[in-house]
Amino acid sequence: MKEANTRAVDGADVKSAYARWAPVYEVIATPTVPARKLAAKRVNALGGRFLEAGVGSGSALPLYTDNVRLVGVDLSHDMLKIARERAATMANVEAIVEMDLMSLAFADDTFDGVICMFTITAVPDAAQVVREFARVTRPGGTVMVASHFEARSGPWWVTDRLLTPFSRRLGWNPSMPIDPLLAIPGLTLASREELPPMGLITLLTYTKAG
């Protein structure tokens, strides 16, 4: 248990955790549905070619409108299997690819934007991952990151503290601080919104300098 508190969740933890989560993920993740819908609505308002980083089972894919083209990436073979089945009939999904967000295999300025939901607290270095998002986004493009971050008080503080010792088994860190994501080179933080349920989720929206 001590080790669970002393090192970040890594790729091996994620692969093993999401092999267990995959069959039940979308039921367990029901509380995140309103925030996912709102974030997808923002992407739809922008349109263009988006990277969905940590696409998981592809539960957001049906939420995007036809003006959005998508490439989805994720580390978990088991989650990707569900995403691929779902995407098979979707004309606006270009590809679903197994890839580590820590080092994206895309050229600079490839996408009009990046959307990353409920994934940034599962990576070993969240700031490095958002720097990667900045790199693959074209100048003037948009990066959006939605997640639960460390609660400083209230009922979520209690839940965070109870769950944090199990981070590696859960496959994410329930108490990751937001601060390292508030200043990312090359990105301007345009907004920081608290989303339902009860402010559990924060949506960070950045723009890349044009």
**Does position 144 bind ligand SAM by CB under 6 A?**
no
Q: Draw the binding track, 30-49, toward ligand SAM (x: CB under 6 A; -: no contact).
A: ------x-------------
* Contact stretch for ligand SAM (CB under 6 A) within 117-125, 130-138, 154-162, 180-188: 117-125
Q: Give the span between the Cα atoms of 104 and 93, in whole angstroms.
A: 18
Query: 209 vs 103, 109, 134, CA distance in Å?
Result: 21, 12, 10
State which of residues 46, 63, 90, 102 lies at the interface with ligand SAM (CB under 6 A). Answer: 102
DSSP tag of 151? -
Q: Give the span between the Cα atoms of 8 and 203, in whole angstroms.
A: 22
Q: How far is the CB of 117 from ligand SAM (least distance, A)?
A: 4
**Does position 112 bind ligand SAM by CB under 6 A?**
no
Q: What is the dihedral of CA 72, 92, 192, 132, to 10 degrees?
A: 40
Contact between residue 195 and residue 202 where contact means Cβ atoms under 8 Å apart: yes
* Contact stretch for ligand SAM (CB under 6 A) within 11-19, 87-95, 149-157, 190-198: 11-19
* Contact stretch for ligand SAM (CB under 6 A) within 111-119, 135-143, 178-186, 190-198: 111-119
In the chain, the amino acid numbered 53 is A
**Does position 204 bind ligand SAM by CB under 6 A?**
no
Q: How far is the CB of 73 from ligand SAM (least distance, A)?
A: 6
**Does position 68 bind ligand SAM by CB under 6 A?**
no
Q: How far is the CB of 66 from ligand SAM (least distance, A)?
A: 21
In the chain, the amino acid numbered 77 is H
**Does position 137 bind ligand SAM by CB under 6 A?**
no
Counting residues that bind ligand SAM (by CB under 6 A) gives 22
**Does position 117 bind ligand SAM by CB under 6 A?**
yes
In the chain, the amino acid numbered 141 is G
Q: Give the span between the Cα atoms of 147 and 194, in whole angstroms.
A: 10
Contact between residue 109 and residue 138 where contact means Cβ atoms under 8 Å apart: yes
Q: Give the span between the Cα atoms of 149 and 172, in whole angstroms.
A: 11
Q: Which residue from 120, 146, 126 is spatially nearest to 205, judged by alpha carbons?
A: 146
List contacts with ligand SAM (CB under 6 A): 11, 14, 18, 29, 36, 54-56, 59-60, 74-76, 79, 100-102, 117-119, 122-123
